[in-house]
Amino acid sequence: MTALTEAAVRAEIKDWLAAEWDPNLSLFEWRKRLVSSGWGAPTWPANLFGRGLDPDLASIVEEEMRRAGVVGVARSGARNLAIQTLLAHGSEAQKRDFLGPTLTGQYSWCQLFSEPGSGSDLAGAATRADLKDGRWIINGQKVWTTSADHADWGLLLARTDWDVPKHKGLSFFFIDMHQPGIEVRPLRQMNGYASFNEVFLTDAVIMPEHMIDELGSGWTVATTTLMHERSHGDPSAAKPTDAGGRQGRVYDEEREEIVIATEPYGWYPQRAGRVDLILERARETGKINDPVVREEIGKLLVLDRTAKWTALRARANLAPGEGLGPTGSLIKLLGSHVARAAARVHTLISGADAMLAGAEAPKDGLIAEVFVSVPAVSIAGGTDEIQRNIIAERILRMPKDPNLDANRPFRDVLKNPGAGTR
């Protein structure tokens, strides 16, 4: 088979776009064309909605699509987590059934991992999955679940065996979020947002074909999901296609989709510290002339730039299809350090005014929102302490902490108040 050249790929995608792209199509109809053609995910195998191109050739496809102002497939936020988990662990049938509808935007997703009684100890999950009459019956509670109120499917980690050590008794499922037995309640945060939900599962049903990988492999699968969550970027940064002011149904529907998808993440730039506002605020207040403040600003900007370079270097060194692995923990931990340093510098710049909210407050209360949002960056997606453990054990190869529960059946493990029992 003749190897494809850059010129051949460029010519083929340009010809296909000229024949198929129509901004007056519905977003779903356009994405169906894009997915069925393989141009929506060109590095994927040809039998799984792709074209088997290497990343260099795929970048040409992306370049031509941007030049034409073409809307791409849906793969941001939890959709991307589902996609990456499927690609790594799903069966061929699961990939065929779920990848296409996820790329077209037909399926939206949420992540059902955290529980009230297990905190950062994800392996301590106590939501039960019991096999009865050929179906899995799910009972338990999940918390901090973004977009559970409108998701079609959930990535669910549940316990299928209580008589083995905790890491070995977990299994991973896809669960239909629209069925009876699933109740979603919003959680109000101290910064005023209600981005998360708690989810109550009472005799919810999962068919056997919706278990991912093998029985008891849930911890391995969940680790893949978490590594992508820690390194995939800010979901609030999704932007409409750069269409040069062009109009059409597909653009209108994409904008509506992005509003829905990013609404829970409106405070994410604030939890990251809003480094982008530091120099502006320093000039507005005159603190740019304070030598102590200037020194702290310099430290922050160096730290922020170093964190970004570290992330870029890590991604640039990846082999095709390879995940960031434990390096994702390093990037996430750096983000926590940047956010806290930024909050401190905002305090130096704004002083007591930083506590004010409302129209008369600095940046209409945005600086105050930074202070009450930054603590979340050290918790969400795994606490800083968890990231340090991963870095120590898997990057620095330091000895693991003693684990007295490593070989103890989960039913005999001392559990936090609120954790499920059986």
pLDDT at 420 over 70: no
Residue percentage of the chain with pLDDT more than 70: 93
pLDDT of residue 323: 64
> pLDDT tens across 259-295, in order?
888 888 889 999 999 999 999 999 999 999 999 999 9
Q: How far is CA 319 from CA 83, 322, 324, in A?
A: 18, 5, 10
Lowest mean pLDDT among 82-91, 230-239, 378-387: 230-239
Mean pLDDT of the chain: 91
The amino acid sitting at 202 is T
Total count of residues recorded for the chain: 422
**What average pLDDT does range 144-153 have in this prediction?**
94
Q: How many CB atoms lie within 10 A of CB 399?
A: 7
- Nearest-angstrom CA–CA distance, 164 and 175: 24
pLDDT band at residue 244 using 50, 70 and 90 as cut-offs: low
CA atoms within 13 A on the CB side of 241: 26
**What average pLDDT does range 4-13 have in this prediction?**
94
Greater confidence (161 vs 232) lies with: 161
Phi and psi at 158, nearest 5°, equal -140, 160
**What average pLDDT does range 159-177 have in this prediction?**
97
Greater confidence (348 vs 227) lies with: 348
Beta carbons of 135 and 208 less than 8 angstroms apart: yes
Q: Nearest to residue 246, comparing CAs of 256, 255, 237?
A: 255
pLDDT of residue 305: 97
pLDDT of residue 73: 96
pLDDT at 51 over 50: yes
> pLDDT tens across 299-337, in order?
999 999 999 999 888 877 766 556 677 888 999 999 999
Residue ranges and CATH numbers for the domains of the chain are 79-233 (2.40.110.10), 272-382 (no CATH)
140 Cβ contact partners less than 8 Å away, ≥ 6 residues apart = 115, 125, 126, 127, 128, 158, 201, 420
Instruction: At 141, list the tokens.
Output: 């509670």
> pLDDT tens across 115-137, in order?
998 877 899 999 999 999 999 99
pLDDT band at residue 233 using 50, 70 and 90 as cut-offs: low
CA 373-394-89 angle, to 5 degrees, is: 80
- Nearest-angstrom CA–CA distance, 335 and 325: 17
pLDDT of residue 76: 85
pLDDT at 2 over 70: no
Phi and psi at 238, nearest 5°, equal -60, 135
pLDDT band at residue 421 using 50, 70 and 90 as cut-offs: very low
Beta carbons of 66 and 97 less than 8 angstroms apart: no
pLDDT band at residue 1 using 50, 70 and 90 as cut-offs: very low
pLDDT of residue 422: 43
pLDDT at 17 over 60: yes
- Nearest-angstrom CA–CA distance, 115 and 334: 26
Greater confidence (15 vs 238) lies with: 15
Q: Nearest to residue 264, comparing CAs of 238, 239, 236?
A: 236
- Nearest-angstrom CA–CA distance, 384 and 81: 21
